[in-house]
Structure 1
């Protein structure tokens, strides 16, 4: 029988080395719906880039995914094993950029790190070091979880998803924070996650975004930012400023050289 329900979207965010767990997240969500949806009048939908995005030109690939998927989701389940992913020109990887977006918007993030064994000869040391640094940056922001194998992950996610969804059943809906809370969280995230890195930040003026900033440790590339891309250093904003029309080419340059 049909029933009316509130729909919550859960974004599944991860690099490509945890494919089995990505499928398990969908299974856990479907199981939750089978047990709870009609009783609670709540439906939870899994959202993944491979099923919910569509080809489109005109911006960074991750920015297109952000607009098509990320901004409309209510909760994120993120997981890592040995890789962090590929730099987007803005963040260390697409998964990291999605997590940053959720944290800055005050939306809940459930973050898991796999401790499954792996053949040492198959580990990309650079990727693993970046992942370890990212994990260290996440610890001060709240609780993170680890798991030993797929069965352990499914059991933990099932239980912990129920805990978070119970907040909704108890009348504590997932809602955005106030503007002041958003600003405070954004500053905290930037100070933790952007330290000793290079990143892009949109610059809003008079209610419009017509330019962007490149911030962080830009000493080694400052000549190229200035001479090749005509960037202007703005000491009050603490970064190199460019017109928004050059965002894609500057992002590509940072991806290759920063």
Structure 2
């Protein structure tokens, strides 16, 4: 007979595995009920409540028969446990079938897939119940056999992503190896007003986090391959990723395990099956902490200026700022100012509706083959002359601010190489050549002195990857210098 510690581990794993499909049963039944129209709610609410009640009774039975205080297999009445579990599963199956038949007759296909998910979770739970004797006596608890897949289900398809700054919503990453867990949590979180992306392993999560930013990670503890705890440890070991808050998820009732996660840097933990109200409260509280830390951090407004020929490079700048926000979390918060993210009204000019460059801390100009679009006569230089373009206005406004108040600090980048143009349209080619000539003359006027020497510095790049590397390095140094300067001033004043 195995020793006590082996049995305890097997019992904990059995509780975990049983709670998972039961959580799916409850979760899908709740969402079907939430989605029903008032007239359908009258018809199906009682049956859906019966399914949920049976699910909650199963959770209680798991604790009653397989609780953590059980010391040996001899203390478990296996036949009685199986009888009680099967009784509740029969209720779940029976009520599901009745709803399914009525929904099919009424041609209500919108929630039939969720009923099928309930039925599949019931079958999974029944297989686990049937295997209780073997699981309790086996020296190594085996996983439930995975049914052969007949094709990709809707829960495995890619979902669209809407990247957002932390506001009332946020961008969340769900990491769970169980497809039904991922789908339930994805739908729950989406209903709460958050954007959500799902992956099936810790390895996938770490790869994704290298290129995309998220405001919060919901991470399953028990996964094959890289476990949730190992994934958490790798996140917290990364200088860039360690500031992303993580909430751990588990169907296990091992408090010690969750304490370990908190000690390793997790913000919070949630036991499965999820209580929707508790889930929302934990996510909201976690994101609120992030907002508070951002608010008390030193803020840097970064004005991104460029004509329309470097749109990919503008996206690079936003991505770089996102990475640096993760790195400087709690110390500094970088706010990109991008005209394309503002609700521009047709009744006003672009320049009248965006934050003035001279009122920011850092100006980033990105140029290539255009100087930009001309401005109306209502926007003139102090001497009454017209600006060459909106980009010229932004550059000179930032430069005037720096001369008068020492801010913003200015970074200027110019892309090398000629743009690809169709030679079939002669006017387009001539217009671009004219734009390149105007841009060169403008830069020469501001950056090159009468003797031919450079009086203003700028950086050249050929590809987006080069801009990415340079801009991250330059912004990091500027922000670090400002933070060090502020610390020195505070120390001197003290």
1:28 aligns with 2:325: no
1:104 maps to which residue?
400
CA deviation after TM superposition for structure 1 residue 92, in Å: 0.9
**Which whole-Å CA distance do the structure 2 matches of 1:147 and 1:33 have between them?**
24
2:457 maps to which residue?
143
1:224 maps to which residue?
none
Structure 1 portions without partners, runs of 5+: 174-258
The structure with the largest alpha-carbon Rg is 2
Does the residue aligned with 1:146 lie in a helix, a strand or coil? strand
Residue pair 2:368, 2:416 contacting (<8 A) in 1 also = yes
Deviation beyond 3 Å, 4+ runs, structure 1: 68-72, 119-123
CA deviation after TM superposition for structure 1 residue 65, in Å: 3.1
CA deviation after TM superposition for structure 1 residue 74, in Å: 2.0
Relative to the length of structure 2, the TM-score reads 0.32
2:143 maps to which residue?
none
> Between Structure 1 and Structure 2, how many residues are aligned?
168
Residue pair 1:62, 1:88 contacting (<8 A) in 2 also = no
Choose the corresponding residue for 2:470, options 156, 164, 188. 156
Deviations 1:124-143 (A, max 9, x none): 11101001112212324421
How large is the Cα RMSD of the aligned pairs? 2.2
Does the residue aligned with 2:485 lie in a helix, a strand or coil? coil
1:177 maps to which residue?
none
Deviations 1:159-206 (A, max 9, x none): 111121122122169xxxxxxxxxxxxxxxxxxxxxxxxxxxxxxxxx
More strand by share: 1
Does the residue aligned with 1:86 lie in a helix, a strand or coil? coil
Alignment of 1:181-200 (within 5 A): none
Structure 2 portions without partners, runs of 5+: 1-288, 377-385, 403-407, 449-454, 488-494
Choose the corresponding residue for 1:125, options 407, 420, 433. 433
**Which whole-Å CA distance do the structure 2 matches of 1:130 and 1:172 have between them?**
40
**Which whole-Å CA distance do the structure 1 matches of 2:470 and 2:399 have between them?**
22
**Which whole-Å CA distance do the structure 1 matches of 2:415 and 2:477 have between them?**
21
**Which whole-Å CA distance do the structure 1 matches of 2:357 and 2:342 have between them?**
10
1:12 aligns with 2:326: no
Relative to the length of structure 1, the TM-score reads 0.59
Choose the corresponding residue for 1:64, options 349, 352, 365. 352
Greater relative CO (CA pairs within 8 A, separation 6+): 1
Residue pair 2:358, 2:401 contacting (<8 A) in 1 also = no
Deviations 1:1-45 (A, max 9, x none): 44221221111110001010000000000101111122xx21001
**Which whole-Å CA distance do the structure 2 matches of 1:47 and 1:148 have between them?**
24
Does the residue aligned with 2:374 lie in a helix, a strand or coil? coil
Residue pair 2:309, 2:370 contacting (<8 A) in 1 also = yes
**Which whole-Å CA distance do the structure 1 matches of 2:350 and 2:358 have between them?**
12
Which shows bigger deviation, 16-25 or 45-54?
45-54
**Which whole-Å CA distance do the structure 2 matches of 1:47 and 1:100 have between them?**
17
Residue pair 1:47, 1:69 contacting (<8 A) in 2 also = no
More helix by share: 2
2:334 maps to which residue?
44
